Structure 1
Amino acid sequence: MGKKLLFLFAAFAALYFISGCSNEHAAVAGQAGHDTRSTPPIVIAHRGASGYAPEHTIPAYRMAEKMDTDYIEIDLQMTKDRQLIAMHDDKVDRTTNGTGSVKELTLDQIKSLDAGSWFNQKFPGEADSGNHDLSIPTLQEVIQTFGKQANYYIETKKPAEYPGMEDELLKVLKKNHLIHSGAENRKVIIESFSADSLKRLNDRYPQLFLVQLGYPEKMDLPAISRYADAVGPDYQGVTESFVRKAHEEQLQVHPWTVNSVSDMKRLTGFGVDGMFTNYPDKADDITQSP
């Protein structure tokens, strides 16, 4: 069954239920399906609070948590020994003192790298001596650290280079009781530029909330709505018309990566349902303001 059919089924069920319920119970019933609008927009900490701490490190995620972000984003790469790690690039060169492709390095080799000193050099105003001792966390380590108190927004990066990445991801989520059959669970949202990756996940667990990343002008919204629940477009191409068309297809809109206050206000005015940012504190101030 496609995502849109699932949405319509849930919507009709909710309407039927609401007709005989109090307002409080109606609100609960409305949460059963995939909402097409979040009020206020959710704030997604892009690679953690990466404007203030080294991206994809425990301190960056912890700082985001302290800023009351709604979700922490975790980009996934897979090591030579098939361990999922939190890293944006498929090479370790930019954010560590090492070199080479993640897929050609073991977890032990990657764990030996310095994952924080580069940040002090690039952003001296945010430098911290503790950054010299940081290592790259695995997905399991992030979840063990923050548990079910946090919400996770996870990207399968270049899954074509990592056969079986989705299976490894599902294993970790099931091990930590973050995925189950039945009702939709928003503790975890999964995003990808790869439609094939999202379709594989949708086939396995249609209750997962899935987000198709891309560029607004290239997005086939009706097609995306058959396997995903939201789109994550480059914020620079997002217009009010695009948001309206996405909502007509029962798709939420979560633009990336929005760092200026003026852009945050503009996109909130367009009716977006969430936004990625390196500065969760700025976004939280705007989205929570009356």
Structure 2
Amino acid sequence: MTYHLDFTRGPLIGAHRGASAEAPENTMAAFIRAVEVKADMIELDVQMSKDGELVVFHDHDVKRTTNGSGYVKDLTVKELLNLDAGRWFSDQFAGEKIPLLEEVLVWAKDRIPLSIEIKPIPSWNQPIEERLVELLVRKDMVKQVQVMSFDHQAVYKVKCMNSEVMTSIISASRMWNPIGYAKRVGATILNQPWYFLTPEFIEQAHDEGLLISGSLIDDPDIWKEVHAWGIDLVDTNYPERLLAVTKKRVDLDHFQGEEQQ
């Protein structure tokens, strides 16, 4: 069985940094939990170490979620892997490590699709896009991921390097002509806060061949509303909550369909 990204079966629910409400973000524990609750995909963040390795980590500084300090870019992969990335969350997760992207790709292969966010650090002049595309090709994961970023130049670079990679631009603010802009940079998906979206906008985007992500939603009541708009993807820290809402809707639609027969 293959696990290519498939938006034809309804909106996908992505586990934001894994099931990050139940396990420390961007760790294998959070990713494994996301699979256990049957999330449709996993969102994670990628940066480059001082010695050029791609690591899965959100903040530029390691202080908040490890027992260390300093910027990811200034630490070697050995130094990063020696940090404890779990105890800050709970003693239960003491000893969790910062994952290498390569090991996550190997683990996720034919298990669950990934949404990989390149952290916006253009001033640091790291060849992160080249390394990422090379790794995706080498691990045969091009069809099982989407690559996204607030750094739209990074998204454009990835698309130019390999047109088969599904890409997404993220924006936390309103954009002028977002659909046209997304298409110009080669994005397949436009990722904006759900409260910027409307059913009419989503329909227009679909007519233009663009998919829509509603960014981060943790509230099941909001998800009920946005789900009905025809959205394609959403990330959440609580995938199990949102999946329960989706299952109820599917079961209700099936029941109503049987009644009408």
**CA distance change for structure 1 residues 250 and 53 in 2, over 3 Å: closer, same or farther?**
same
* 1:133-174 CA-partner distances (Å, limit 9, x unpaired): 111001011122333222111111114134210111112112
Aligned residue in 2 for 1:212: 169
Q: In 2, are the aligned partners of 1:210 and 1:229 still within 8 Å (CA)?
A: yes
- Compare 168-177 and 259-268 and name the one that shifted more: 168-177
CA distance in 2, matches of 1:117, 1:90: 19
Moved segments of 4+, more than 4 Å:
none
3-state SS in 2 of match to 1:133: coil
CA distance in 1, matches of 2:67, 2:125: 23
3-state SS in 1 of match to 2:88: helix
**CA distance change for structure 1 residues 146 and 230 in 2, over 3 Å: closer, same or farther?**
closer
CA distance in 2, matches of 1:215, 1:74: 18
**CA distance change for structure 1 residues 42 and 162 in 2, over 3 Å: closer, same or farther?**
farther
Aligned residue in 1 for 2:93: 131
Q: In 1, are the aligned partners of 2:133 and 2:162 still within 8 Å (CA)?
A: no
CA distance in 2, matches of 1:286, 1:38: 19
- CA shift, 1:237, in A, is 2.4
1:163-178 to 2 correspondence within 5 Å?
A: 163-178=126-141
Measured on the aligned residues, the alpha-carbon RMSD in Å equals 1.8
Q: In 2, are the aligned partners of 1:40 and 1:287 still within 8 Å (CA)?
A: no
CA distance in 1, matches of 2:21, 2:100: 21
- Compare 55-64 and 265-274 and name the one that shifted more: 265-274
- What are structure 2's unaligned runs of at least 5 residues? 251-261
CA distance in 1, matches of 2:182, 2:98: 33
CA distance in 2, matches of 1:208, 1:171: 11
- CA shift, 1:188, in A, is 1.0
User: 154, 167, 186: which one pairs with 1:197?
Assistant: 154
- CA shift, 1:87, in A, is 0.8
1:1-290 to 2 correspondence within 5 Å?
A: 38-120=8-90, 129-160=91-122, 161-179=124-142, 185=143, 187-215=144-172, 217-218=174-175, 220-226=178-184, 227-288=186-247, 289-290=249-250
- CA shift, 1:74, in A, is 1.6
* 1:223-257 CA-partner distances (Å, limit 9, x unpaired): 21131111111223222233233223221111121
CA distance in 2, matches of 1:216, 1:231: 12
Q: In 2, are the aligned partners of 1:47 and 1:278 still within 8 Å (CA)?
A: yes
Identical-pair percentage: 30
Q: In 1, are the aligned partners of 2:109 and 2:141 still within 8 Å (CA)?
A: no
TM superposition score normalised by structure 2:
0.87
- Compare 65-74 and 156-165 and name the one that shifted more: 156-165
Q: In 2, are the aligned partners of 1:216 and 1:242 still within 8 Å (CA)?
A: no
3-state SS in 2 of match to 1:155: strand
CA distance in 1, matches of 2:162, 2:133: 9
3-state SS in 1 of match to 2:156: helix
CA distance in 1, matches of 2:195, 2:226: 10
CA distance in 2, matches of 1:66, 1:164: 34
Structure 1 letter corresponding to 2:69: T
- Compare 213-222 and 44-53 and name the one that shifted more: 213-222
3-state SS in 1 of match to 2:110: helix
Aligned residue in 1 for 2:255: none
* 1:14-57 CA-partner distances (Å, limit 9, x unpaired): xxxxxxxxxxxxxxxxxxxx98x644200111000001100000
- How many pairs were matched up? 242
3-state SS in 2 of match to 1:264: helix
TM superposition score normalised by structure 1:
0.79
CA distance in 2, matches of 1:172, 1:101: 23
